Amino acid sequence: MSFTSYTFIAFLGVMLLAYFLTYGKRQWITLLVGSYIFYAFAGLDCLAFILITTLSSYLVSRLLGRAIGRERAFLEANKETLDKAQRKEYKARSKKKRFRILLCGLFFNFGILAVLKYSAFAVRNVNSIIGLFGGKGFDVPSLLLPLGISFYTFQTMGYLIDVYRGKVAPERNIAKLALFVSFFPQLVQGPISLYSELAPSLYEPHKFDLKKFSFGMQRVIWGYFKKLVIADRVLIAMNTMLDAPEQYGGAYVLLLIVLYSVQIYADFTGGIDITIGIAESMGIKLAENFDRPFSSRSTKEYWRRWHITMGRWFREYIFVPIATVKPMLKLNNFCKNRIGVKAASKVVAYTASIVTWFVTGIWHGAAWNFIVWGLLNCLIIMVSESLEPLYKKFHARFPKLAGNRFYGGFCATRTFLLMGLIRSLDCYRNVATTFRMWGSMLTFRGIGEILGGGILRLGLDLTDIVIILCGIAVMYAVSKISAKTDVRESLYERPVLSAILTCALLICVIMIGNYGIGYDASQFIYDQF
């Protein structure tokens, strides 16, 4: 059930009504039932997988909880008799035990994800190696990929790790945990929530609140606007170029990079707006996933502002543990004496970064282009970090530059283009093609053609282009304003204006959204029968 289908809109209407009608202590059950209905639309076999993840995580989290409880009770009971060293020793030992339980849970669930998502990719790569030696290779398995499995697995594993770390108490009610795993608005594309931030507001009852409800709906409509009016329209031109990449080299590649940046921004942030808006209308608060990412001045900053909850996940559960695991600490200290403090941390941090970005890449999809994409991000961050002293010297020479608006704009544009450039890897979906297309950009071929009307031959007419440009302007303005003030909050004081804007936006979505079969007058010309 995609967000842009009529079925989803109908489902949402029924869901919201049911949610508010069942106000009370058990209101969350409505959400659970709704989420499972939503998920059942993706197929009953998918439902089995999400159930397995829920069950196994419940089991593991309860075991972890019990282990932690026992540890605390033991320490409490033997407070007097144990000395510090004994205490430490006991703690280390029981932590190891706990870690083993956690590993079981992680292996099992990431195992499912790995088998379903990556086995075809792995077999293909093994086959190509076998092929080098003239072998025949294995059959490439074609397995079902349950809807949102990357998202719910990561969210749920985050919960397990948090229980292991003692940050949250394990959920006693399996149905409640099932809701945390399957909460329908965020099932398909995140945000990846932390248990500690989502669970309380998920389970507690929410009365209908006109303000929250209208705020939520405003955000939903805004999300649909970005998705249907802008993203899906831009997609038409992108698809034309991607259907025959070789025909659209040179300046077209730059155009594609810019278009894809607009498209993915409108599509992804729009989708998240819909998600957060739906939750908000029910009184449930979800974590923000974007913070005006295209105004970032560096790659590092960009990754703190784009797909925030994913970055947070990888940082907290992959980067930090790897960088601070004991062998790494030892390695760091070992290097410190030999190559210096700074360089030693670099060895450790870069190793952890490379692993993290590799995983980030492959998490996005089982293909080399995603892996290369992840590693390129890592490379850029590492290079710019290594050049940090140089930047510092540069800024010391030109102290006024840092505050200069144009310099800021320059940095933001540079980051935007750089991120767009490597992001085009997942447009072409093929590393070799992408590199060839990047090379073709250096020829600057096609600028004249694009400006001379080539842009109108990509499947968009002038009206579409005007709509896209206006859409971008509106997004930019909203983003600019929301940097300083909460747009909806300030509109709330002016209800009539707020109503007019919301209605206008809704009508825009319905009238100029790119959905449905699309009207082609020639189909309606009666030809023969």
Partner 1 sequence: MQQLLDILSGLHPEVDFETTEDLIDDGILDSLDIVSIVSSVYSEFDVTIPPEEIIPENFNSAVALMELITRLDEE
Partner 2 sequence: MKKRIIILVCSALIVILLLGLLQALVVPKYTDNTEGLLIGEYYGETGENDVIMVGDCEVYESFVPAVLYEKYGITSYIRGSAQQLVWQSYYLLEETFRYETPKAVVFNVYALKYGEPQDEAYNRMTLDGMKWSGAKYDAIKASMTEGENMLDYAMPLLRFHSRITELNSDDFKYMFNDKKVSHSGYLMKKGVVPMREEAESGRALLDYTLPETAMEYLDKMRQLCEENDAELILVKAPTNTWGFWWYDEWDAQVSEYAENNGLAYYNFIKCRDEIGIDFATDTYDEGMHLNVYGAEKLTEYFGNILVSDHGLGDATHSQDVLDRWQANIDAYYKERNS
The residue with tokens 């709704």 is 34
Q: With b meaning 16 or more CB within 10 Å and e meaning fewer, what string describes 138-167? A: eeeeeeeebbbbbbbbbbbbbbbbbbbbee
The listed partner (partner 1, partner 2, none) that binds 385, CB under 5 to 8 Å by sort, is partner 1
Say whether residue 346 binds partner 1 (CB under 8 A).
yes
What distances in angstroms separate CA 95 from CA 108, 166, 167, one per listed residue? 20, 11, 14
Number of residues binding to partner 1, judged by CB under 8 A = 29
The listed partner (partner 1, partner 2, none) that binds 516, CB under 5 to 8 Å by sort, is partner 2
What distances in angstroms separate CA 340 from CA 110, 306, 458, one per listed residue? 38, 34, 55
Cβ of residue 168: shortest distance to partner 1, in angstroms? Answer: 10
Q: With b meaning 16 or more CB within 10 Å and e meaning fewer, what string describes 361-373? A: bbbbbbbbbbbbb
Cβ of residue 513: shortest distance to partner 2, in angstroms? Answer: 7
Identity of residue 43 = G
Cβ of residue 395: shortest distance to partner 2, in angstroms? Answer: 49
Closer by beta carbon to partner 2, 396 or else 525:
525
Residue of 158, 165, 223, 241 whose CA lies nearest to 197: 158
The listed partner (partner 1, partner 2, none) that binds 496, CB under 5 to 8 Å by sort, is partner 2
What distances in angstroms separate CA 87 from CA 77, 99, 494, one per listed residue? 12, 18, 62
Cβ of residue 70: shortest distance to partner 1, in angstroms? Answer: 16
Sequence-ordered list of residues with C-beta below 8 angstroms from that of 169, at least 6 positions apart, any chain: 65, 163
The listed partner (partner 1, partner 2, none) that binds 345, CB under 5 to 8 Å by sort, is partner 1
State the angle between helix axes of 174-182 and 195-203 in degrees (0 to 180), rounded to the nearest 10. 110
Cβ of residue 165: shortest distance to partner 1, in angstroms? Answer: 4
- Catalogue the long-range contacts made by 196-202 (C-beta closer than 8 Å, 24 or more residues apart): 196/162, 196/167, 196/168, 197/285, 197/287, 198/284, 198/285, 198/286, 198/287, 199/168, 199/171, 201/283, 201/284, 201/285, 202/28, 202/31, 202/284
Say whether residue 167 binds partner 1 (CB under 8 A).
yes
Closer by beta carbon to partner 2, 223 or else 361:
223
State the angle between helix axes of 44-77 and 149-164 in degrees (0 to 180), rounded to the nearest 10. 10
Per-residue x/- track, 89-128, partner 1 (CB under 8 A): --x-------------------------------------
Cβ of residue 237: shortest distance to partner 1, in angstroms? Answer: 39
User: Does the N-terminal peptide bond of residue 205 adopt cis geometry, omega within 30 degrees of 0?
Assistant: no
Say whether residue 316 binds partner 1 (CB under 8 A).
yes
Closer by beta carbon to partner 2, 67 or else 221:
221
Say whether residue 454 binds partner 1 (CB under 8 A).
no
Cβ of residue 384: shortest distance to partner 1, in angstroms? Answer: 12
Closer by beta carbon to partner 2, 112 or else 506:
506
Residue of 137, 139, 162 whose CA lies nearest to 64: 162
Q: Which residues bind partner 2 (CB under 8 A)?
A: 6, 210, 214, 461, 463-464, 467, 495-496, 499-500, 502-503, 506-507, 510-519, 521, 523-526, 528-529
Cβ of residue 396: shortest distance to partner 1, in angstroms? Answer: 12
Residue of 285, 116, 110 whose CA lies nearest to 186: 285
Closer by beta carbon to partner 2, 447 or else 506:
506
Cα gap 70→10, rounded to integer Å: 49
The listed partner (partner 1, partner 2, none) that binds 529, CB under 5 to 8 Å by sort, is partner 2
Residues 226-245 that bind partner 1 (CB under 8 A): none
Q: How many CB atoms lie within 10 A of CB 92?
A: 9
The listed partner (partner 1, partner 2, none) that binds 514, CB under 5 to 8 Å by sort, is partner 2
Closer by beta carbon to partner 2, 92 or else 525:
525
Instruction: Work out which of 128, 196, 333, 443 binds partner 1, going by CB under 8 A.
Output: 333
Per-residue x/- track, 137-166, partner 1 (CB under 8 A): -------------------------x--xx
In the complex, the residues that contact partner 1 under the rule CB under 8 A are: 84, 87, 91, 162, 165-167, 316-317, 320-321, 323-324, 326, 328-330, 332-333, 336, 341-342, 344-346, 348-349, 352, 385
